């Protein structure tokens, strides 16, 4: 069953790397935006909310194209990053991670925001009377109490990144070993005669990865919730 | 004592309800007494810095913590006022020991084993240190909340109906601890309650609130003279 070609294994490894890196990089931004949306009151808040949700409703190809014309080698921002920091996204796995991170961002923010909104703010008052300023209150009270939601959000983002196809292939193409993730590899395989068998193996593998990730996050979230309730 | 331990004059509009309260106290144990809805909790929230008065001045032990005219508003986390909340409000995600230590961490003081032991012994909570708050009884939780507030080395301790969530038997268990606290802990306290018996036991001076105003102030013996039919 698992006698995959080296190229297919590369696609699996790349997918895991892209999904993990995009989730981890997106996390601090996701927490910051979730905090803003949950707690802030400022002009343009619903605009920000809409912008965050945009990747969820836009066709992924559109998101990918927008990335291409903003972060591509010849685009102003992309050229600036390449010239000054040596950061290149186009046709690199890092570009795939950016595309996946952006596609997964709404799910990440949504889960974290809901858990922040559910926190009893009176605990934060208690922290203040005990001498904690806002930064410490956030680190020692708000963040730990939001942990189940953060775990759930990371899991959703990871799974979403793993399944990302349209934005990635539009932005960084489908280069074996560099940007060819599981989804892109499956797509390539079913384009060639006789590729169905290998495609099916990759399908099974991606199902297994997602089920394992779901179970793991379920278990982690349960443990985190149990900790909060004094087990 | 020359100066007042506490001098408060605050005005606050809370929608349908408005408060205008002024009192001073040089007593070590002052009670804020009055029926539910009199504004007791709002008043101590303003003293603690959790609620901002519209106008007024709050002075504790010679230091001005709030003065609308002088634009002074010391944030809650810098006021060093210990607060025992009605429902305890222990942090659910950390152990009892870490709850007790929280105030010391935030202030950056060195660990003082003697002070820690003293509070643990005073409140008889040594056997609970490694537990989590979720599994504790109401009485245990309130004792730990008192310990947590004490260990931050406050200059003033606010107790907001610390017994209200407990049944009568539990109240009787905890009252002696509060009396010891008053006698041994060397921290002036404000005790909020709508129960005249508690107030008489704990406090020496009483500020009687009603409808967001001070109805009367004086020694606790006044509570006998004005017979109380509002108490629980």
Q: Is residue A219, in this structure, part of any structural domain at all?
A: yes
Contacts of B78 in chain A (CB under 8 A): 131
Q: Is residue A1, in this structure, part of any structural domain at all?
A: no
The total number of structural domains in chain B stands at 1
Could you tell me which residues come within 8 angstroms of residue B80 by beta carbon, excluding any fewer than 6 positions away?
A131, B107, B152, B153, B154, B155, B156
Greater confidence, B224 or A152? A152
The total number of structural domains in chain A stands at 1
Q: Which pLDDT score is estimated for B1? A: 44
Q: Which residues of A172-187 are buried (b: 16+ CB within 10 A; e: fewer)?
A: bbbeeebbbbbbbbbe
What is the share, in percent, of chain A residues with pLDDT greater than 70? 98
Tens-place pLDDT, residues A10-33: 999 999 999 999 999 999 999 999
Question: What integer is the mean pLDDT of A185-198?
Answer: 91
The whole domain housing B80 covers 6-225
Distance from CA of A154 to the nearest CA of B (A): 20
Residue in B50, B81, B91 closest to A141 by CB: B91
**B106 contacts A131? CB cut-off 8 A:** yes
One pLDDT digit (tens) per residue for chain B, 232 residues: 456 789 999 999 998 899 999 999 888 899 999 988 899 999 999 999 999 999 999 999 889 999 999 999 999 999 999 999 998 899 999 999 999 999 999 988 889 999 999 999 988 999 999 999 988 988 899 999 999 999 999 999 999 999 888 888 888 888 888 888 888 878 899 999 988 888 988 998 999 999 999 988 888 887 775 555 444 3
Distance from CA of A228 to the nearest CA of B (A): 5
Q: Is residue A106, in this structure, part of any structural domain at all?
A: yes
Q: Is residue B73, in this structure, part of any structural domain at all?
A: yes
What is the Cα–Cα distance from A93 to A208, expressed in whole angstroms? 23
Residue in A129, A132, A145 closest to B83 by CB: A129
B103 reaches A (C-beta below 8 A): yes
Q: Is residue B208, in this structure, part of any structural domain at all?
A: yes
The CATH number of the domain holding residue B176 is 3.40.50.300
**A125 contacts B77? CB cut-off 8 A:** no
Q: Is residue B231, in this structure, part of any structural domain at all?
A: no
Phi and psi angles of residue B17, each rounded to the nearest 5 degrees, phi first = -115, 130
What is the Cα–Cα distance from A177 to A183, expressed in whole angstroms? 13
pTM: 0.87
* End-to-end Cα, chain B, rounded Å: 35
Contacts of B48 in chain A (CB under 8 A): 129
Alpha helices in chain A (DSSP H): 6-39, 45-57, 60-71, 76-85, 93-117, 122-129, 134-137, 143-145, 147-163, 166-172, 182-191, 196-228
Tens-place pLDDT, residues A33-45: 999 999 999 999 9
SS (H, E, C) A127-182: HHHCCCCHHHHHHHHHHHHCHHHHHHHHHHHHHHHHHCCHHHHHHHCCCCCCCCCH
Q: Is residue B230, in this structure, part of any structural domain at all?
A: no
Contacts of A130 in chain B (CB under 8 A): 77, 102-103, 106, 148-149, 152
The CATH number of the domain holding residue A55 is 1.10.3720.10
Question: What integer is the mean pLDDT of A52-68?
Answer: 95
The whole domain housing A151 covers 6-228
Residue in B50, B81, B152 closest to A125 by CB: B50
* Residues A133 and B55 sit within 8 Å (Cβ to Cβ): no
Q: Is residue B1, in this structure, part of any structural domain at all?
A: no
């Amino acid at each position: 069953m698992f006698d995959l070609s080296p190229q297919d294994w590369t696609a699996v490894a790349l997918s895991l790397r892209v999904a993990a890196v995009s989730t981890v990089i997106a996390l601090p931004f996701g927490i910051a935006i979730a905090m803003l949306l949950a707690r802030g009151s400022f002009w343009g808040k619903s605009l920000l909310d809409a912008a965050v949700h945009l990747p969820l409703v836009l066709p992924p190809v559109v998101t990918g194209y927008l990335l291409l014309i903003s972060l591509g080698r010849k685009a102003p921002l992309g050229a600036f990053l390449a010239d000054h920091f040596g950061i290149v996204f186009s046709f690199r796995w890092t570009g795939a991670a950016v595309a996946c991170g952006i596609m997964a961002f709404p799910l990440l923010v949504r889960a974290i925001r809901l858990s922040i909104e559910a926190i009893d703010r009176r605990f934060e008052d208690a922290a203040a009377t005990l001498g904690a300023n806002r930064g410490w209150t956030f680190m020692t009270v708000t963040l730990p109490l939001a942990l189940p939601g953060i775990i759930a959000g990371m899991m959703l983002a990871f799974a979403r990144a793993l399944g990302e196809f349209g934005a990635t292939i539009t932005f960084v193409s489908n280069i074996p070993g560099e940007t060819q993730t599981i989804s892109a590899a499956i797509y390539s395989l079913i384009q060639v005669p006789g590729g169905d068998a290998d495609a099916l193996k990759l399908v099974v593998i991606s199902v297994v990865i997602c089920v394992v990730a779901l179970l793991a996050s379920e278990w982690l979230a349960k443990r985190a919730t149990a900790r909060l309730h004094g087990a | 004592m020359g100066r007042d331990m506490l001098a408060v004059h605050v005005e606050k509009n809370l929608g349908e309800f408005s408060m205008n309260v002024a009192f001073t106290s040089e007593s070590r144990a002052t009670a804020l007494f009055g029926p539910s809805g009199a504004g007791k909790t709002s008043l101590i929230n303003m003293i603690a810095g959790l609620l901002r008065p519209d106008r007024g001045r709050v002075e504790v032990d010679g230091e001005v913590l709030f003065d609308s005219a002088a634009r002074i508003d010391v944030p809650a986390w810098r006021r060093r006022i210990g607060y025992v909340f009605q429902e305890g409000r222990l942090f659910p995600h950390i152990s009892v020991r870490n709850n007790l230590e929280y105030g010391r961490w935030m202030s950056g003081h060195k660990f003082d084993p003697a002070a820690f032991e003293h509070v643990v012994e005073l409140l008889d909570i040594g056997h609970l240190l490694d537990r989590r708050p979720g599994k504790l009884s109401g009485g245990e939780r309130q004792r730990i909340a008192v310990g947590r507030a004490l260990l931050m080395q406050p200059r003033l301790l606010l107790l907001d109906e610390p017994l209200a969530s407990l049944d009568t038997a539990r109240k009787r268990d905890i009252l002696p601890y509060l009396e010891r606290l008053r006698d041994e802990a060397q921290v002036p306290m404000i005790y909020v309650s709508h129960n005249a018996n508690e107030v008489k036991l704990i406090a020496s001076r009483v500020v009687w609130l009603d409808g967001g105003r001070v109805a009367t102030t004086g020694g606790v013996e006044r509570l006998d003279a004005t017979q109380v039919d509002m108490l629980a």
